[in-house]
Amino acid sequence: MLIRDARPWGGDPSDITVTDGLISAIAPSSSAGARNVDVVEGRDRILLPSFSDAHIHLDSNRLGLPFRPHTAGTADAPASLRQLIDNDRANWRAAETSMAERTGTALGLAIARGGTRFRSYAQVDADCGLERLEAVLAAKQQHRDRAEVTVMAFPQAGILLEPGVPALLKQALRSGADVIGGLDPCGLDRDPVRHLDVVFGLAEKYQVPVDIHLHERGTLGAFTIELIAERTAALGMQGRVTLSHAFALGTSNDDATVGALIELLAAQDISVATVAPSGSGVLPIRRLTEAGVRVGLGQDGMRDYWSPYGNADLLDRTWQLAFTQGFRPDELIEYCVAVATVGGRSVIDPSAPRVTSIADRPGLTIGDPADLVLVPGDSVTAALMDRGTDRTVIRAGTVVADRLELLPAG
């Protein structure tokens, strides 16, 4: 493949050659014709690494379905985590289409908008059993030629509060889940030792990574992070553990405590995934990446029974990341794009290059995977602000989507 007249990271117009799914050459743009290769016309668009969504719930969306008013909590009494969980349980089976259709639709929309790598959560609990896991695995199979999807067995309702959940998680790993999850060991299950015993015990037995949703804030969240780091060190799982949300890092008033936690994460190579929340809980992403912590971005659930937000477009969520961080200079806007592309990839694959400073622009050098997206814009910042539809998505050297529409697989 030859990608002609594109601007890597918004730089000079270049011709990019792809061989066997990897970038093999980058040269100044030329008007010379190309022979015996597929040509993708860059048309002076910006070339970026494709998006890597490090935190997406494909089994929690209503994309493409009629809009449904939010029913968890009220304007004066926002729903608690438990109420949100129960609201989802009460409604997800009543959707107009099957769970398998919804997961396949959401993944297709996310690919068409520029994503080729995803870590998707699949709820496993006493209510749904493995039904939602099976739907996410079906979406992974449906789009196998367009994207790489790793699937996490996620105990959304806790591990210890209902009987049979540890056995279901074990069954999920045997059935194709790639990652074992956890959720608020103190705040929800109220027994961090037993909760982490199950999570890390399954990780050790099945040799899979760990990803723990951590909504716990302040001192409680800091305590849980320390416990997770201890388990990581004891089992030699450096590079195989992720904290999602990690709100404690954005809600502590003690700067020294936050600094110590960041050093702990860096020492154990524990990555962090954020969904760019507003208000309290905003991650100090610059401090994290500059300390060497792998940081990625994700979309969470999308227009579901938890929230009306989300549209399967990680470029939109990258705008939200820049906005909630209060960033304005171009180099900081581009840094957010790096976190959403290469940063997310490093969360999913710890051997991949990581973002370590606001100047890093990795992912578009010779030898890098040809997982790419072309987007319109005068600059990377302009592309993020405008979020145009003239996008071309390339997976392993093959065009898989154009102008927000999937191309036939295979």
The token pair that represents 324 in the structure block: 């909630």
The total number of residues written for the chain in this structure? 410
CB 99 within 8 A of CB 59: yes
Give strand pairing partners of 323: none
Q: Is the pTM of this model over 0.95?
A: yes
Could you give the count of Cα atoms lying within 13 Å of 309 in the half-sphere of its Cβ?
12
Encode pLDDT of 328-356 as tens digits: 999 999 999 999 999 999 999 999 999 99
Looking at residue 282, its pLDDT comes to 87
Looking at 2-6, 234-238, 275-279, 378-382, which range is the least confident one? 275-279
Looking at residue 30, its pLDDT comes to 85
Neighbours of 357 (CB within 10 A): 11
The token pair that represents 195 in the structure block: 């909760």
Looking at residue 93, its pLDDT comes to 94
Say if residue 35's pLDDT is above 80.
Answer: no
Average pLDDT over residues 233-256: 93
Report the percentage of the chain scoring pLDDT > 90: 94
Encode pLDDT of 162-215 as tens digits: 999 999 999 999 999 999 999 999 999 999 999 999 999 999 999 999 999 999
Report the percentage of the chain scoring pLDDT > 70: 99
Encode pLDDT of 65-97 as tens digits: 999 999 999 999 999 999 999 999 999 999 999
Rounded to whole angstroms, the Cα distance separating 16 from 365 reads: 10
Amino acid at 189: D
Residue with tokens 């889940």, as numbered in its chain: 177
* Domains in the chain: ranges and CATH: 2-49+363-403 (2.30.40.10), 51-348 (3.20.20.140)
Encode pLDDT of 372-410 as tens digits: 999 999 999 999 999 999 999 999 999 999 999 999 986
Rounded to whole angstroms, the Cα distance separating 10 from 381 reads: 9
